[in-house]
Amino acid sequence: MSPCPFLIVVDSADGGSAFYTFYIGSNDNYIALSEFDVAQNVEWGGYDISKSYSIRHNQWYTFRFELDQSTLSFYVDDKLASTTEANLPLVRESGGIGFYIGGNEEVHLDDIKVWSLSEQDTPAHSTEAAASLVSNKLIRPCEWDVRINLTGFEPNSVITVSSNYSETVCSDGSQVTSAWTVDYQKKTDALGNLVTSYLHKGTGDYNYSYVDEKGNRASLSFSTEP
C-alpha cells in the first residue's frame, strides 16, 4: 500500500499556516507537521505512530486527532494509537480550516467534523452544571446556554445532555455512594448553533436512595423541570 497523506490546513489570521499530515502505508504510520513561520519559512517535523494499527484497503475506519497545546493524540476506531509530546507548530488565531487528500491512493471521506474549543469553553458544562435540590424536590437542569459555537452539532437536531450527580454518605466508618443521571435536551438551528430559546426538557422521574451499615434506607424522588 502506497503512503496516503491526509493534510489538514489551518490558515492563520497573520498569513501563516500550520499543516498536519498523516501518512498511512505498508511501511509508514507517520504524522508529518509543517508550519510557515512569520518570515514564511517552512518548518517541518514528524512523529511515528504505533505500528500495531494496520490499515487495509476497502475498509472504513474512524480517525480522530486531538491537539491540546503540545499534546497530539491519534485514535483509530476510538482506540488510542499514539500520543506525542512535542513542540508542535502553533495553531494561531481563528481562520479557515480545510482538508486535502492526495498521494497515490483513492480515499473516501464521510462525516468530517472539526471542533475548536478554548480552555474557557471546554469546562463550561461541568462548571455551569451546579444543579441542586430545592424545596419542592425538583432538580433543575443546568443552564447550558454558554456561548460555544460547535460546528460538530448536527443542524436541525435535538441534543441530549447528561449530567451525573453523586453523594457519598459516611457513618460509623462506612461509606455509601449513590449516583444518578439527569438528561435534558437542547435544539440546534439550520446552521448547527444552539437555540437558546428552546425549553430544557427532562426525561422523567428519578429515584435516589442509599442504605447505611445498619440496613436503614433513605430515599428521595425528584423529576426534571422544563
Confidence of residue 174 (pLDDT cuts 50, 70, 90): low
Number of domains in the chain: 2
Confidence of residue 74 (pLDDT cuts 50, 70, 90): confident
* pLDDT of residue 51 exceeding 70: no
Q: Which pLDDT value is given to residue 94?
A: 41
* pLDDT of residue 154 exceeding 50: yes
Amino acid at 23: Y
CA distance 96 to 90: 15
pTM metric for this prediction:
0.37
The DSSP annotation for 133-155 comes to B-TTSEEPPP--------TTSPT
Total Cβ atoms within 10 A of residue 196:
12
Instruction: Flag whether 139 is in a domain.
Output: yes
The angle subtended at Cα 69 by Cα 68 and Cα 73, nearest 5°, is: 40
Q: Could you tell me which residues are beta bridge partners of residue 45?
A: 33
Q: Which pLDDT value is given to residue 99?
A: 53
Do 91 and 143 lie in a common domain?
no
**Torsion from C-alpha of 143, 148, 154, 157, nearest 10 degrees:** 20
Q: Residue for cell digits 451499615?
A: 213
Do 46 and 135 lie in a common domain?
no
Do 135 and 68 lie in a common domain?
no
Higher pLDDT among residues 136 and 215, named by residue: 215
CA distance 83 to 87: 13
CATH number at residue 9: 2.60.120.200
Contact 150, 114 (CB under 8 A): no
* pLDDT of residue 141 exceeding 50: no
CA distance 85 to 79: 18
Q: pLDDT digits over 85-105, tens only? A: 655 544 444 444 445 555 555
**Average pLDDT of the residues of the chain:** 55
Do 88 and 143 lie in a common domain?
no
Do 94 and 45 lie in a common domain?
yes
Do 182 and 94 lie in a common domain?
no
Sheet holding 29-36, edge to edge: 42-48, 29-36, 17-24, 4-11, 97-101
Higher pLDDT among residues 225 and 174, named by residue: 174
Confidence of residue 64 (pLDDT cuts 50, 70, 90): confident
Residue count of the chain = 226
CA distances from 128 to 91, 117, 143, 163, 185 (A): 28, 16, 7, 11, 15
Q: Which pLDDT value is given to residue 131?
A: 39
Do 76 and 131 lie in a common domain?
no
Q: Which pLDDT value is given to residue 81?
A: 73
The domain of 97 spans 4-101
